[in-house]
Structure 1
Amino acid sequence: MKFQFLTPALHGVLDYLAAGALVVLPFLLGFSGIELWLSVIGGAGLIAYSLLTDYAYGAIKLVSFDVHLLLDLSAAVAFIIAPFVLGFGFLASIYYPVMAAGVVAVVALSQRQGQVAAAVRR
């Protein structure tokens, strides 16, 4: 069984859904200050580099999908570290690692460009 079953197109859909969640959820959870704005800026950044990614839902296609995945992982690392470094409250200290875990899962389950090309040739 292949564990990397998320196509770049499906990954793109999840990107925009996650970006929306990153922008909206901190307001619903009552975050303020850096707890709020780190998530909002992260969501806006995800929208920006998704629009620049060379996949189905990218608009300009300047960034390869593999680089996009590295940006995703970088954001996940930042979200794991932030609560400790920035002294977040209890709820935000749970929110950020949970969001990071979701990102890591999506990256781990996403097909890489070489895998997509091989699947198309079959």
Structure 2
Amino acid sequence: MKLRFITPTLHGVADYTAGLGLVVAPFLLGLGKTSQVAIWFSVISGLAVFAASLLTDYKLSLLKAIPFQGHLAIDLLVAVTFMIVPFAFDFSGLDAIYYWFNATVVFLVVSLSASK
């Protein structure tokens, strides 16, 4: 079994789904108990995910300006950022767990994504 089984197309589906989730989930989960930054950092990140997805060289994009390997590098930067954000903004409780969970998911998706 190949460990990298997420194709660029499937990765694209995950990106658009994640972008939507990052925009909507903070409101559904009631984030922001520690800081309103917990909400708006997620929303802005979700919009950035949509933008990067529209620019990535895979089947589901419009412009194909970012090579898929570059997109994976951006995803890794996002995962590291999501790990650090709770410490940087002193999040606790669900606000912190939300970012650490998302960081873990992004790390997993990147590690399981097959390059073109």
TM-score range, shorter chain: over 0.9
Question: Which amino acid in structure 2 is aligned with residue 96 of structure 1?
Answer: Y
Instruction: For structure 1, list consecutive stretches of 5 or more residues without a partner in the other structure.
Output: 114-122
More displaced, 86-95 or 60-69? 86-95
Residue 40 of structure 2 is matched in structure 1 by 37
Q: Report deviation, 1:19.
A: 0.7
Determine if the alignment matches structure 1 residue 80 to structure 2 residue 83. Answer: yes
SS in 1 for 2:114: coil
What is the root-mean-square deviation of aligned Cα atoms in Å?
0.7
Equivalent pairs, count = 113
Flag as ranges the 4+ runs of structure 1 deviating above 6 A.
none
Residue 119 of structure 1 is matched in structure 2 by none
Residue 27 of structure 2 is matched in structure 1 by 27
CA offsets, 1:30-81, max 9 Å, x none? 1231000010011000000100000011101100000000000101100000
Question: Which amino acid in structure 2 is aligned with residue 54 of structure 1?
Answer: D
Determine if the alignment matches structure 1 residue 61 to structure 2 residue 85. Answer: no
Question: Aligned equivalents of 2:30 and 2:45: distance in 1?
Answer: 17
TM-score normalised over the length of structure 1:
0.90
Please give the residue correspondences for 1:76-115 in structure 2 after superposition, counting only pairs within 5 Å. Answer: 76-113=79-116
Residue 10 of structure 2 is matched in structure 1 by 10
- Structure showing greater radius of gyration is 1
More displaced, 9-18 or 85-94? 85-94
Question: Which amino acid in structure 2 is aligned with residue 24 of structure 1?
Answer: V
TM-score normalised over the length of structure 2:
0.95
